[in-house]
Amino acid sequence: MRHITSVKSPIQALITIAALVWAGAALAQDPCADWVPQPKPQNASRDIVGTDLDRIQERGFLEIAVYEDYPPYSWKDKGQPRGLDVDIGRLIAEDIGVEARFRFVPAGENLETDLRNNLWKGPIIGGRVSNVMMRVPYDSAFKCRVEQVVFTGQYASEAVAIAYREDAYTEDPPVPAYFRFDTVAVENDSIADFYLSAFPGGQLAGNIRRYPTMEAAMAALNTGEVKAAMGPLAQLEWGAGEGVAVHRPPLPGFGKGDWTLGIGVHFAYRPLSYWADDAVRYALEDGRIAAIFDQYGLTHLPPVR
């Protein structure tokens, strides 16, 4: 389980990407122009890291890393893998013609740690790398800094939104300025937490209620403990109970209010990355990925590809 003070890697990745966006206006034409390649890290042993496409097809399964205990994206329901990322991972494996096998992995300190542990090197103690990792935020500047990974297969976008009690806001849905007077729930140390905490003059500090997970934050909203909650759209929609609505208002001063999600593959296995990207593209074009979101009662935001 994630500790209450830990930063979930997808959120930490967004914070990193937001910083790059704010600092990168001059790099619009070449996002890698300011990057000086670093000495390439070495693997921990002489073992082959990852597995090529021929070997995957020969053995009959694709190993896919997904975040543990992270609904609606990936979790275990009575021991069975469930979630958006699980179902999209199955589409990729099906297109390759193999079985999908899932490794539920904990979130590290940041995205670089997760990519190192799960795709190109492996954790320091125990564990192993996977063929594919789901829910990898894509950013053209960030990808320059992690040369060991191919960022591909963009399958959706995510966005920060606000969920609110309809009986508390009978006229207009709330915007961040409303939280000068009203309570709002966030996941501790999340992008929404940082944004609201830094709102001009610290005006909202007294009304922010922090919870260990977004599930707990939404539970507080559903019971009326708070009037609103702020976080990723899919998590808000997933956790919304009766009398709770979700909307995406303007977020002044928010450097990165939405982002693209894709997959990661070890850089040495590009044929696998090409095949996986094609599988995702076909599933976007024929509506299968949108249908997966619909099955969970969620909005599919098309990715930037």
pLDDT over 70, % of the chain: 86
End-to-end CA distance of the chain: 33
Residue 33's pLDDT band, with cuts at 50, 70 and 90, is: confident
Q: Do domains 9-22+44-157+257-295 and 160-247 have the same CATH topology?
A: yes
Break the chain into its structural domains and give their ranges. Answer: 9-22+44-157+257-295, 160-247
Cβ atoms of residues 265 and 149 within 8 Å: yes
Q: Which two tokens stand for residue 167?
A: 């009986």
- pLDDT band per the 50, 70, 90 thresholds, residue 41: low
Dihedral over Cα of 38, 132, 126, 109: its sign: positive
Structure tokens at 100: 């999908």
pLDDT bin (cut points 50, 70, 90) of residue 3 is: very low
Neighbours of 148 (CB within 10 A): 18
Average of pLDDT values for 10-30?
54
The pLDDT of residue 16 is 54
> What six digits make up the tokens of 205?
């500090």
Q: Tell me the longest C-alpha to C-alpha distance in the chain.
A: 64
Residue 25 clears pLDDT 70, i.e. is over it: no
The fold of the 9-22+44-157+257-295 domain, in CATH, is D-Maltodextrin-Binding Protein; domain 2 (3.40.190)
- DSSP category for residue 250: -
pLDDT in tens, 161-207: 999 999 999 999 999 999 999 999 999 999 999 999 998 888 999 99
Residue where the block lists tokens 């997933």: 238
Q: What is the pLDDT of residue 264?
A: 97
Please state the rounded mean pLDDT for residues 84-91. Answer: 98
Torsion sign (Cα): 295, 240, 260, 38: negative
Angle (CA) 278 281 284, round 5° = 150
Residue with tokens 């708070």: 226
pTM: 0.85
Assign 3-state DSSP to the chain and report helix, strand, coil percentages, each to 5.
Answer: 35, 25, 40
List residues bridging with 209 in a β-sheet.
185
Instruction: Provide the pLDDT confidence category of residue 4 given band limits of 50, 70 and 90.
Output: very low
Q: Residue 46: pLDDT above 70?
A: no
CATH of domain 160-247: 3.40.190.10
Q: What is the pLDDT of residues 110-152, one digit of tens each?
A: 999 999 999 998 887 777 899 999 999 998 888 888 889 999 9
Of the chain, the percentage scoring pLDDT greater than 90 comes to: 71
